[in-house]
Structure 1
Amino acid sequence: MSSTQEHLLDTYRARHLGTPVPPAPGTHDVRTVRDLRAYRRFRAVLAGRPAPERLRHVLSRWLHRQTRPGC
């Protein structure tokens, strides 16, 4: 059974039982990934390692260094 079919079945059951409808699959994926990233950064700091920087900041700093004249 796919996750969509399972969600539809759960929704059907919830409506007949009068309970709240569960969220659709994939609704909280972005928030989960952000929370996981924050947790990994927190664990790195607790372990005494530097927290990893975001890839976008690292790449922009690297590209800025490459385009500066005279370096």
Structure 2
Amino acid sequence: MSITQQYLLDSYRARLHGEPGPPAPGRHDLGLLREVRDHRHFRAVVAGRPARGRLRRALAGRLRSLAHRARPRAS
């Protein structure tokens, strides 16, 4: 059963029982992603690590090391 079918079934059942319907699928996704990001920043600060820019710094360091390896050596 797909998410849409489950949502329609839950809405139908809620309407039969006079209850409020469920939230639409995907309605709270952005809020959830923001909460996860904020929690990861919080955990980084508590652990004494930089809260922002860690991924960019890690990727930049990896690119530098790959570029260093790819340089032709002068003989």
Aligned partners of 1:20 and 1:45: how far apart in 2?
40
CA shift, 1:39, in A, is 0.4
Post-superposition offset of 1:35: 0.7
Q: Which runs of 5+ in 2 are unaligned?
A: 57-75
Tell me, what secondary structure is at the counterpart of 1:24?
Answer: coil
Count of residues in Structure 1 that have an aligned counterpart in Structure 2 = 55
Rg (Cα) greater in structure: 2
Gaps of 5+ in 1: 59-71
Deviations 1:18-69 (A, max 9, x none): 111000100001111011100000000011111014x8xx7xxxxxxxxxxx
Whole-Å separation in 2 of the counterparts to 1:40 and 1:19: 36
Whole-angstrom distance in 2 between the partners of 1:14 and 1:44:
42
TM-score (norm 1): 0.72
For the aligned residues, what is the CA RMSD? 1.5
TM normalised by structure 2 equals 0.68
* Identity score, percent: 60
Query: Hey, which bits of structure 1, 4+ residues long, moved more than 4 A?
Result: none
